[in-house]
Structure 1
Amino acid sequence: MDVFMARQPIFDKEQQVFAYELLFRANENNWFQLGSRNLDQATAGVITNSFYNIGINEVTEGKRAFINFTANLLENEVVTILPKELIGVEILESVLPSEDVIKVCNRLKALGYFLVLDDFVYKPGFEELLEIVDIVKIDFLSTSPEERRDIVPRLGKYNVKFLAEKIETVEAFNEAVDLGYTYFQGYFFCKPILISSKEISGVKAHYLKLLEEVSRADMEFDNVEAIVLRDVSLTYKMLRYINSAVFGFQRKIESIKEAMVILGQVEIKKWLAVVALSLIGSDKPDEVIKTSLIRARFGELLAAKTSLKDQSADVFLMGLFSLIDVLIGRPIEQVLNEVLLPDKVKDALLGEQNKFNTILGIIKNYELNSWDQIAPLADELQIDYKDIRNAYLDALKWIDFLEYE
């Protein structure tokens, strides 16, 4: 059975990543159809892929991985093969608090495992389980304002923290903070907070201009060198990058020109775009930058498997700019009017239906665990679902080794 996995960040109140939930679906004959009988196999597949094939640190960057467990997996103590400091054991909402489940959870707690009650709705009979778990997850889309408000004092006697799930807007995040929730899961951080000022700050404008320059197909190598040499921060970052363990040179590279010759024009333009983006977003949550970079690399790898393979650099650029409104704090239409991007990139970012936009649709739906939306888009591009999965996982590996800060 093929298992398709994506990660979704879980934040603290400061919007720093606390953990990642590993979301997954299994495929047999149809796209991403997961029956209950396959859930155990799917979880086993995620464990195998993330811990043994890829490496959990590359998947979650050293953060805790929240993984769903069925009653069967809990009772067979599959959890104990995994390092307790690296996982959160999500007890699915379908798991009933039977005597066996309570016994296993007590044992896991004694061993030091971190236990999470998924999609919780209060029902009599869960008292013993609430005495054991560390976190209770509340789905903000399927509960009423009264339910998500009342659950906090109702469970006040238990030593649990609350995680607000499916937080898709900044308003929902603020509501959850005000209600006393500690952790937050969803893509609210990808929503722009528009600033009242009509002017982009000088620093952001400078690096936005740099992004525009390196996106030009006709940009000269000498121009790239001049841009780097005019910026002390870029010079330092490039020399640190070229002398990092990624390349493993036996001697130190001290010249920008030599560094650029080693990297080549295509790679140096890509690297500059990445660094410029990180500097534009220096006042935003780190995950916004990471998501932009993952989108860029994910899209580039997808394009290489389609008729867009000769335009993969432009697809990379599209992913990089896909959250520029969040980073700048202005509507994306305004930002794109101020930078010169390839027409297909700009059109896709503004929602026009073309092949670039189709790739962006695959990327966004993969993030959101909306597997059923991916199938028609993949068919349109004639791309195999295994290539989509592998491109996503390769993008996670790439971001782990990328030097841009």
Structure 2
Amino acid sequence: MSENAADQLFLGRQPILDRNQQLFAYELLFRSGSRNFADITCGVQATATVIANAFTELGVEAALGEYRGFINVDEAFLFSDLLELLPRHSVVLEILETVPPTPAVIERCIALKAAGFTLALDDVIQLEPEFAELLALVEIVKVDIQPLSRIQLMQLVMKLKPMGKQLLAEKVDSREQMEQCLKLGFTLFQGYYFAKPTIISGKKLDHSQISLMKLMGLLLGDAPTSEIETALKPEPGLTINLLRMTNSVGSGSSEKITSLGHAITVLGRRQLQRWLQLLVFSAGNPSGTSNPLLLLSATRGRLMELLAGKLQPGDIGFADQAFMAGIMSLMPALVGQPIADIVAPLGLTANVRDALCAGSGPLGALLRLAESSESGDISGLTVALGELPGLSPKALNHAQTQALQWSNSIGQEAAA
């Protein structure tokens, strides 16, 4: 496989949630840009090789942490020897609905199960007799709920339940659909229902969240330490935690920190900013950043920060703004308010505000790139990369993996 083929791989991921709306796994979306997957002699083999390499060069296995990665498998990839290079404990092989249940396919699936792979069947909307043997081999059945009426979905589930399969509802777009699937006994869910403002409609930013974001705005605007100290003083809980953390960081020193100004100086502004960002993610959420939307927010912000560093090396201010734009972009989904209302009181820089409210400037292009990578939207990725000369698909892949590793790590910190 040529290096160019590897460079053209796009790596996306979509969260898969459990019944408690906690992260269970990611579906990893490997795409080869404009390459036609029907070109079996070239496209599929190239993609298979890159997927295998992704778990080594890109470190996807480490990025997944405790979570599994669901990988789409078409007929050609199913029979590729490269499939067996994947770490069995870290992946679920998601057999696409286009794979015909031929005797050869059944035999291959039996061998993969025997080798320790977990199998899932994708996009099930009805039980066709010819798929009975394949269905018996898989552990997870992904049901596409979109084309099904309530009655059709209920009837399908009634047929699936006696088989003892784990049921995953995909393309869940609303709370109503989520609740229906919960009642029917689905245990896994995939879709963007949790990222829509209507899901948590009417919720307002609480006082601590507003204070945290105002403080981040001051840090990004390079405000004087005295101004940051003044903003912290009405927040005794934050102040105590800041002093505790700074004393802990400087535990090797005999000098104890007792003032806010001293703490800010010792800790450093970038470290303080990271701490505040972590608090924003976990504010009001006892399970920390294990909330899928908060994890997505953290990952998006970190991805944009890393890509900003590649676009404008050495420009820390631009990277910080990219991070802020990334995490702020999902606040409407988190609190159910328009982005303009959220941004108004925070004193954000014009670049961040314009990117969030109008999608303009390089930060707006980075935001579109991040959103497209999350959804696996190849046309959107192509357009966004075209707006950002200097960024390659390979650079995007590495940044995505690093961002996922980072968000997993802060999730563990927040839950600790």
Which interval holds the TM-score relative to the shorter structure? 0.7 to 0.9
Distance 1:363 1:83, change over 3 A: closer
Paired position in structure 2 for 1:58: 62
Q: Is the 8 A contact 1:139 1:166 kept in 2?
A: yes
- Counting only pairs closer than 5 Å after superposition, residues 178-257 of structure 1 correspond to structure 2 as 178-192=183-197, 193-196=199-202, 200-215=205-220, 217-221=221-225, 223-224=227-228, 227=232, 230=236, 231=238, 232-237=240-245, 242=249, 255=257
Paired position in structure 2 for 1:68: 72
- Counting only pairs closer than 5 Å after superposition, residues 302-381 of structure 1 correspond to structure 2 as 302-306=307-311, 309=315, 311-381=318-388
Deviation at 1:398, TM superposition (A): 2.9
- Counting only pairs closer than 5 Å after superposition, residues 5-404 of structure 1 correspond to structure 2 as 5-27=11-33, 31=34, 34-37=37-40, 38-49=43-54, 51-75=55-79, 78-121=82-125, 122-192=127-197, 193-196=199-202, 200-215=205-220, 217-221=221-225, 223-224=227-228, 227=232, 230=236, 231=238, 232-237=240-245, 242=249, 255=257, 264-265=268-269, 267-280=270-283, 282=285, 286-306=291-311, 309=315, 311-386=318-393, 387-402=395-410, 404=413
Superposition RMSD in Å: 3.2
Deviation at 1:134, TM superposition (A): 0.8
Q: In 2, Cα distance between the equivalents of 1:324 and 1:73?
A: 39
Q: In 2, Cα distance between the equivalents of 1:33 and 1:376?
A: 18
Q: In 2, Cα distance between the equivalents of 1:134 and 1:365?
A: 30
Question: Which amino acid in the other structure matches residue 385 of structure 1?
Answer: S
Q: In 2, Cα distance between the equivalents of 1:304 and 1:86?
A: 30
Secondary structure of the residue aligned to 1:382 is coil
Q: Is the 8 A contact 1:77 1:104 kept in 2?
A: no
Q: In 1, Cα distance between the equivalents of 2:255 and 2:150?
A: 58
Q: In 2, Cα distance between the equivalents of 1:385 and 1:139?
A: 33
Deviation at 1:296, TM superposition (A): 1.4
Secondary structure of the residue aligned to 2:124 is coil
Question: Which amino acid in the other structure matches residue 190 of structure 1?
Answer: A
Single out whichever of 141-150 and 162-171 deviates more from structure 2.
141-150
The alignment-based identity, stated in percent, is 28
Q: In 2, Cα distance between the equivalents of 1:87 and 1:288?
A: 22
Deviation at 1:147, TM superposition (A): 4.1
Deviation at 1:295, TM superposition (A): 1.4
Give the number of the structure with larger relative contact order, counting CA–CA contacts within 8 Å between residues 6 or more apart. 2
Q: Is the 8 A contact 2:44 2:76 kept in 1?
A: no
Question: Which amino acid in the other structure matches residue 5 of structure 1?
Answer: L
Question: Which amino acid in the other structure matches residue 399 of structure 2?
Answer: A
Q: Is the 8 A contact 1:306 1:383 kept in 2?
A: yes
Q: Is the 8 A contact 1:208 1:280 kept in 2?
A: no
Q: In 2, Cα distance between the equivalents of 1:14 and 1:291?
A: 17
Q: Is the 8 A contact 2:143 2:167 kept in 1?
A: yes
Q: Is the 8 A contact 2:22 2:291 kept in 1?
A: yes
Question: Which amino acid in the other structure matches residue 193 of structure 2?
Answer: F
Deviation at 1:196, TM superposition (A): 4.1
Q: Is the 8 A contact 2:52 2:82 kept in 1?
A: no
Deviation at 1:260, TM superposition (A): 5.3
Question: Which amino acid in the other structure matches residue 171 of structure 1?
Answer: E
CA deviation map 1:126-181 (0-9, x unaligned): 11111121111122345555543332112233121221112233333233223332
Normalised TM-score (structure 1): 0.84
Deviation at 1:364, TM superposition (A): 0.5
Deviation at 1:324, TM superposition (A): 1.5
Q: Is the 8 A contact 2:242 2:263 kept in 1?
A: no
Distance 1:315 1:129, change over 3 A: same
Q: In 2, Cα distance between the equivalents of 1:175 and 1:348?
A: 37
When you count helix as a share of all residues, which structure comes out higher? Answer: 2
The count of aligned residue pairs is 392
Deviation at 1:107, TM superposition (A): 3.3
Deviation at 1:225, TM superposition (A): 6.2
**Structure 1 residues without counterparts, runs of 5 or longer:** 244-248
CA deviation map 1:34-63 (0-9, x unaligned): 4452224313312221x2123344321221
Q: In 2, Cα distance between the equivalents of 1:233 and 1:35?
A: 56
CA deviation map 1:345-392 (0-9, x unaligned): 122222343332221111101100001112222222324333333322
Q: Is the 8 A contact 1:167 1:185 kept in 2?
A: yes
Question: Which amino acid in the other structure matches residue 123 of structure 1?
Answer: E
Q: Is the 8 A contact 2:202 2:335 kept in 1?
A: no
